[in-house]
Amino acid sequence: MQAGKEVRWHALELEEVLKKLDTSLEGLTSDEARKRLEKYGPNEIKTEKGVSPWRILLGQFKSPLVLMLLLATGLSVLIGELTDAITIVAIVIASALLGFYQEYKAERAVEALKKMAALTARVLRDGKEVTVKASEVVPGDILILQAGDKVAADARIIESINLRVDEAPLTGDSYSVEKTPGKVPPETPVPDRINMVFSGTVVTYGKGTAVVVATGHNTELGKIAKTIQEAGKKETPLERRMAYLGKLLAALSLSIAAFVAVVGIFIWKYDILTMAFWAISLAVAAVPEALPAVVTGALAVGMYRMAKRNAIITRLPAVETLGSTTYICADKTGTMTKGEMTARKIYVSDRIIDVTGSGYDPKGELLINGEKVDPRKVKELELLLLAGVLNNDARIEEVEGKRTIVGDTTEGALLVLAEKAGINIEEVKSTYPRIGEIPFSSERKRMSTFHKTPENEYYLFIKGAPEVIISLCKYIMKNGEIVELTDEEREKIKKVNDDFARKGFRNLAFAFRVASEEEVSSPHEKHESDLVFLGLVGMIDPPRPEVKEALELCRRAGISV
C-alpha cells in the first residue's frame, strides 16, 4: 500500500488505484480502518504546538536593548540609585506586558480558528454506509459524496452522477468543477484533475463515491500548510535594527565609561571607587530607557488597527514589516471579491433589467431605467424567475445569522434574484412540484426539469449555456406572446450575451415549453426541442466595496498587487 506517497493517483486506472491501496469498492473493514488509523495517524493537518504564555512573556526580554536596560537596572542598584532602577524596571515591565498582551491575544485568536467544529464523513465500512469523524478517515476508505458535503480527504473518483465541486478553498476558482471517473495525463495540474476531489473543498451538486488516497499532511491542502509551517520565522527589519542599536549603545556606553574611568584614575588621580561610581552613572545615563516602551506602544497601535479589520498578527514586530511591502499576491475569490455569485443583469423582450443589491442579501430591486419592475406584469420575466427557482438544486441556509448557499453558488444567485423580485421560494416549489429531470452535464451544458402546474398542465424548464439554449429554441416570448424566433432575434440575443460577457458576467439562458404527460413520464433529451426562449441572466462575483480604495492606496504607496 502506497497511500500518501508521491503516487500520481490521477494518472492510474481505477483498478490499479484500488490495488495499490489494498482496498475494494465495498470499502475497508472496521478492524482494517483501525489499523490504518494507527499507521497513518489522524486525518488532520497538524499545526505547530501553541506557544505557552510563559514563552510569549519571556520572548519580550530577548531584545539586546531590553537586556541592556536590565543591566543598567543592576548597575543603578549597585551605585544606590534606586529611583533610576525602579523607573527603568517599570518601563521594561510595562513594555513587556503590552507586547505580551497583544501577542497572547493573537495566539488565542488563531487557536479559536483551529477549534472550529469537527467535520464528519460518510464512508463504507464492513460494506455498510457509516458516518465517522473526518479525523478517522484513512487511505483506502470509500467516501460517499453528495451536495453540501465538505470533502474530508484527497480521493480518486469511482463513480459520479453530475458531481460538481467548489474548489475555491484550494484553487481560488469561483466556479464549480464537474468531476468524472477515468484517468487523466500524469502532468495534469491540480486544478485540472477532474477525476480527483480534494480535502477542504465542497460538493455543490450531484453525488458520487471516491476512494481516499491521501490524508492529513499528505493532502494537497496539507502540503500547503506544511510549506507555510516550514518557512520558519525570520527577524523583521525593525528587530534587526533594534538589535543593532542595542549592541551599538552598549558598546559605546561601556567604551565611554571605561575611558572616563581610566582618565579619572590615572590622569585626574581620583580614587577607584569614585571613578567606578561616575563610570556606572554615565553608562546608565546613556541608555534610552523609554525607547522600548515607545516602540512597543507604536506597534501595538498598529496591531490593534489591523485586528479591527480582522487581520491577525501573532508577532508584534511583524506590524512594521508591512511598511516594507512591495508586492501583495492576493487570491481573487473571497478576498478581492465577496465569494458570493450575484445576478446583476436580466435580458427579456429587448429590455435589459438592472438588479441591485449584492451577495446573498435578499435586499434589492429589479429596475428598468431606474423604474422598479413588477414581474407579474412582464410574463416572460415571471416565467424566467420561476425557471430560476424550479430548475435549481441549491438552497439557502442561515448559519449564525449569515446566509449561505448549500449547493452551486450560481444556482444560489438565482434563488436570491427571485427573492428580490418578491417570490416566495418554498411556495413556488410546492405549487409547481418537480416530477422529472434531465440532469446537467459538462457535455450537455444544460439542465431540464419537468413540473406540474396548478392547472394540471406540465412545464419543461431548461437553463444552460446561452449558445446551447438558443440552438434548441424555435420560439421566443415577447410582451407575453409566443412568437417565432427569427434569425434577427437570435443575432440580437447573441449580441447581448457577448456584451454581458465582455463586462465580466457569467451568463445563463432560460427557456420553457408546455410538455405532455408522456414526456414527463420518461424524460429524454429529445424532448428538449421547440423551446420558447425566455431570456438571459448575467451574474458576477462582485468585488468587495473596499477593494477599489485599497488598490488605490497600495498603488499610491508603491505596492504592486
**Four-residue CA torsion sign, 55, 56, 57, 59:** positive
Determine the residue type at 500. F
- φ/ψ of 249, rounded to 5, equals -65, -40
Residue 384 CB: number of other CB atoms within 10 A? Answer: 32
Which residues, 6+ apart, have CB-to-CB distance to 534 below 8 Å? 348, 380, 383, 384, 387, 477, 510, 511, 512
Cell 431605467 found at: 369
Candidate list 331, 350, 498, 530, residue with the active-site label: 331
487 is catalytic: no
Distances (CA, A) of 409 to 167, 416, 431, 467: 12, 10, 24, 21
CA–CA separation, 199 and 197 (whole Å): 7
DSSP 267-311: TS---HHHHHHHHHHHHHHTS-TTHHHHHHHHHHHHHHHHHHTT-
b or e along 420-446 (b: 16 or more beta carbons within 10 Å of the residue's beta carbon)? bbebebeebeeebeeebbbebeeebeb
Cell 452551486 found at: 408
Q: Where are the alpha helices (DSSP H) in 332-432?
A: 379-390, 409-420, 425-431
Three cell numbers written together for 492: 440580437
Three cell numbers written together for 296: 512597543
CA–CA separation, 460 and 463 (whole Å): 10
| Helical (H) or strand (E) element with 76 | helix 64-78
**Four-residue CA torsion sign, 44, 48, 54, 57:** negative
Q: Which residues are catalytic?
A: 331
